[in-house]
């Protein structure tokens, strides 16, 4: 079974700072990778996803993530955060070609100060 | 298109009472997931249905929890009897066959058991 580790539980930044949230997974096979965002009081929404092809994936709101297979990582980045990016961020993984049941990380809480 | 619809959005009940949470997945989606979210345990998968059939219910905490999916457009999660430790936000999510496991979440049902 796969597992997902998000190293940063809480991140506090000022507006315009750069963001990188770590995500590592453990699974030996081919995977599909996702980042979801949960704004305060709302449901989870897809931020970006990787299935195959270019390992640098661009998502909504200026976010991007890079899949590094050798490091089993799928880190989320944004060059300049905004106050509206304050949210909880979840990394998720499933086994490609399998049942597609995702495994979620514990999440990272991001607070951006104006 | 309507997203995943959950009801009720908020439920406050007393210990020992029966609680029923409802979910309508997105039309055409063939997989449905129930998740529970708490501060302590994060996002936990309770049960997963594929084509209305329960595939994995290993996350269901105990016999007090049960879930059904009588047809492709409706699912229920029942807790009987409820306990204060069941207080959480319960999310329903659905996905489609060729979606590689991308989940579409409902708004959630916030349950408080007094």
> Of the candidates A43, A100, A101, which has its C-beta nearest B105's C-beta?
A43
Give the distance from residue A75's alpha carbon to the nearest chain B alpha carbon, in angstroms: 18
Alpha-carbon distance of B111 to B89, in angstroms, equals 6
Mind listing the pLDDT tens digit for each residue in A67-90? 999 999 999 999 999 999 999 999
Residues whose CB is less than 8 angstroms from the CB of residue B81 and which lie 6 or more positions away in sequence, other chains included: B15, B16, B17, B18, B64
Nearest to B113 by CA among B64, B69, B43, B59: B64
In the three-class reduction of DSSP (H, G, I as helix; E, B as strand; rest coil), residue B83 is classed as: coil
| pLDDT of res. B62 | 84
Mind listing the pLDDT tens digit for each residue in B68-87? 999 999 999 999 999 999 99
Q: Cβ distance A77 to A8 under 8 Å?
A: no
| pLDDT of res. B40 | 87
Residues of chain A with pLDDT under 50: none
| pLDDT of res. B46 | 96
Question: In this complex, is the C-beta atom of B12 within 8 Å of any C-beta atom belonging to chain A?
Answer: no
- Asked if A49 and B100 come within 8 Å (Cβ–Cβ), the reply is yes
- Asked if B91 and A101 come within 8 Å (Cβ–Cβ), the reply is no
Q: Is the pLDDT of residue B16 over 90?
A: yes
For A101, the closest chain B residue by CA position comes to: B101
Q: Is the pLDDT of residue B1 over 70?
A: no
Give A8 or B22, the one with higher predicted confidence.
Answer: B22
| pLDDT of res. B99 | 76
Alpha-carbon distance of B10 to A29, in angstroms, equals 40
Based on its alpha-carbon atoms, the radius of gyration of chain B, rounded to whole angstroms, reads 13
Q: Cβ distance B39 to A10 under 8 Å?
A: no
């Amino acid at each position: 079974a796969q597992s997902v580790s998000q190293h940063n539980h809480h991140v506090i930044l000022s507006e315009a700072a750069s963001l990188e949230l770590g995500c590592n997974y453990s699974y030996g096979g081919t995977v599909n990778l996702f980042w979801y965002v949960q704004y305060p009081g709302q449901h989870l929404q897809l931020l970006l996803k990787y299935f195959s092809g270019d390992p640098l994936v661009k998502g909504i709101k200026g976010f991007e993530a890079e899949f590094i297979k050798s490091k089993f990582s799928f880190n989320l980045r944004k060059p300049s955060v905004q106050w509206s990016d304050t949210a909880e961020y979840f990394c998720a993984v499933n086994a490609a070609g399998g049942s597609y049941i995702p495994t979620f990380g514990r999440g990272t809480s991001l607070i951006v100060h104006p | 298109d309507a997203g995943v619809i959950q009801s009720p959005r908020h439920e406050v009940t007393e210990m020992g009472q029966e609680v029923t949470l409802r979910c309508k997945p997105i039309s055409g989606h063939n997989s449905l997931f129930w998740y529970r979210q708490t501060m302590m345990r994060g996002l936990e998968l309770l049960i997963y249905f594929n084509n209305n059939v329960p595939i994995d219910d290993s996350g269901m905490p105990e016999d007090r929890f049960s879930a059904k999916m009588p047809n492709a457009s409706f699912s229920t999660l029942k807790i009987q009897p409820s306990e204060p430790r069941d207080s959480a936000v319960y999310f329903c999510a659905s996905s489609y066959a060729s979606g590689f496991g991308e989940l579409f979440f409902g708004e959630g049902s916030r349950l408080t058991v007094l």
